[in-house]
Amino acid sequence: MKPVAPCFEAQDLPSGLAFRTAQSESRMGAYSLLARRYAERGYLCQELSTHSEGSVTICSAFLGQATVATIAVRFDGAQGLAADALFPEELAALRASGLSLCEFGRLALDHDVSDNKSLLARLFHLAFLHAHRLAGCELLVIEVNPRHVPFYKRMLGFEQRSEVQLNPRVQAPAVLMVLNLVHGRERIANWGGRAAELGAASRTLFPYFYGPDEEAALLLKLRN
């Protein structure tokens, strides 16, 4: 699957944030934020650089010149995914289903940002647009610390697909989780942009995603 990764910037006027992808400064800021957050959690900081990776699209959020959130979208191909190192049998079974895979990783948010829920939702939405709406990927995989499994199940609908393994890249436990992006697309269409109406009562993150009109505008800008 060849990724579609145009240079892109969008302003989120209510929050004052700017979202960017596929720019050199985005990658430098992403690396710095990721290394800092990993160090704060006591994770081993190695193989975090995002340079010279043609199969990876970096989505980042900026407040002024500061990178306040980042996520990497990796597309499946000859080199596979990062999760293949830890979960080769599980990913082989997923590929055998015939669905095209992609991977989200290297997620980091600045803990000083006040509205992390909205920021996380919009960052995931931008990554989703690259992975599913542009590149046509159907199944998303992620590696997460076991203590975060309930959050990803409840807030985004992920399913756990492995037992706990030690991830040597960060020297921390990890499990494999998956999300069918076609189902995710349906949830975004039904819930996106309804945070003011449903956010407080909802047990998912989807009301904080962009609404249909905002998503259409972002897709048009990405495709142009």
Q: How many CB atoms lie within 10 A of CB 136?
A: 13
What is the mean predicted confidence (pLDDT) over 110-123? 82
Query: What total number of domains does the chain contain?
Result: 1
Inside any domain, residue 26: yes
pLDDT tens digit string along 29-51?
Answer: 777 787 777 777 766 565 554 44
Q: Report d(CA 153, CA 160) in Å as an integer.
A: 8
Inside any domain, residue 208: yes
Give phi and psi for 125, each to the nearest 5.
Answer: -65, -45
- Pick from 46, 87, 22, 13: which is nearest to 170 by CA? 46
Position 195 pLDDT exceeds 70: yes
What is the mean predicted confidence (pLDDT) over 81-85? 95
How confident is residue 18, by pLDDT bands cut at 50, 70 and 90?
confident
Using DSSP bridges, classify how beta strands 101-109 and 139-144 pair: parallel, antiparallel or unpaired. parallel
Angle between helices 116-128 and 181-191 (to 10 degrees): 130
Q: How far apart are the first and last CA of the chain?
A: 20
Inside any domain, residue 3: no
Position 67 pLDDT exceeds 80: yes
What is the mean predicted confidence (pLDDT) over 104-109? 90
What is the mean predicted confidence (pLDDT) over 148-167? 96
Range of the structural domain that residue 154 is part of: 8-223
Q: Read off the CATH number of the domain in which 78 is found.
A: 3.40.630.30
Inside any domain, residue 2: no
Inside any domain, residue 1: no
| Residue-level pLDDT at 81 | 95
- Pick from 130, 131, 222, 223: which is nearest to 180 by CA? 131
Inside any domain, residue 213: yes
Inside any domain, residue 62: yes
| Residue-level pLDDT at 94 | 97
Span of 55-59, 70-74, 80-84, 174-178 with lowest mean pLDDT: 55-59
Inside any domain, residue 25: yes
Helix (H, G, I), strand (E, B) or coil at 113: coil
| Residue-level pLDDT at 8 | 66
CA atoms within 13 A on the CB side of 178: 18
Single pTM value for the model = 0.86
How confident is residue 215, by pLDDT bands cut at 50, 70 and 90?
very high
| Residue-level pLDDT at 24 | 47
